[in-house]
Structure formats: C-alpha cells, structure tokens
Amino acid sequence: MVEQDKISPCLWFDNQAEEAANFYVSVFREARILNISRISAGPAEGNALVELELFGHKFTAFDGGSLFKFTPAISFVVKCESQEEIDYYWEKLAADGRTSQCGWLEDRFGISWQVEPAILPDLMERNAERVMEALLSMTKPDIEQLRRAAGYG
C-alpha cells in the first residue's frame, strides 16, 4: 500500500454514487474511475461502491441510502493557478448546485467545494485584512481584485 492511500475519503450518497463519480471524472482533468462493484451483503446490498481517483487521490463513492447527508463542515479545496481555472471549476461544480461567498459552493450532489486561487496564502501574508475583506465581498474569487487588495498593481 502506498502511504498516500492510507487515508482516503468515503462519500455516502443516496443512490447517486455512480452518477457523482462520472460527474467528477468529467470535471477534473486528472481523474478516472478505478472500479465499480455492488455491495454483496447488509442493508445496502446491491447498491454501488465506486472507487475513483482525482489528481492521484483515491475516493470511494458509496450508495448507502438516505440516512446521512453532506454538510459544508467538510469541503474539498480546489487550488487554481489562473482565473480561467477558477472560472472553469466554478462553472462545472456549481452547475445545478448552490454558491456562497469566498469561493465556496455546493455541487448538485451536496458536496461542498472551495474554489480558490493557489496564490491566496501569499496574498494573505502580504495584507490579510484587506485581502479577507475583498474575499468576503466575492462569491467566485477574482484573482486581480485579490491582488489589488494585497497591494499589487
């Protein structure tokens, strides 16, 4: 076992595991479905268990039923190198979902994502108060506005 495989998220869906896995594989350029199997026993017998990989990180999507729901208390951060990348992930992940401030969104399956500029820590280090004030006023992050808030050009 590779060390990075020692811990991985398992996402509990209500009969949408395959649909969600296919969606994520279509959104992320370095993504693939590793395996789709059926649960052979227990309350979720016959439901899907999907193993997928996003940017080298393994995930499991599990059709466990309606017992549990996702919350924004756990989210996945997508660090973007450019405004074009932010725009791409924002458009794809927010489609049929909900958006919030500071780059947070919830996709159509209820998973929370933070789409943020990879440069954000550097900007925060330069002028945390002004950058945070600017970020709080945004829904989708705007790199140029954040750079200006940090004192660049």
Q: Does residue 69 form part of some domain?
A: no
**pLDDT computed for residue 144 by the predictor:** 98
Q: 23: left (phi > 0), else alpha (psi -120 to 50), else beta?
A: alpha
**pTM, whole model, 2 decimals?**
0.92
Q: Does residue 137 form part of some domain?
A: yes
Low-confidence ranges of the chain (pLDDT < 70): 1-4
**Total structural domains within the chain:** 2
Q: Does residue 128 form part of some domain?
A: yes
**pLDDT computed for residue 43 by the predictor:** 84
Domain holding 108, by residue range, is 75-150
Report the C-alpha gap between 62 and 44 in whole angstroms.
9
H helices of 44-95, in order, are: 83-94
**pLDDT computed for residue 9 by the predictor:** 96
CATH number at residue 56: 3.30.720.100
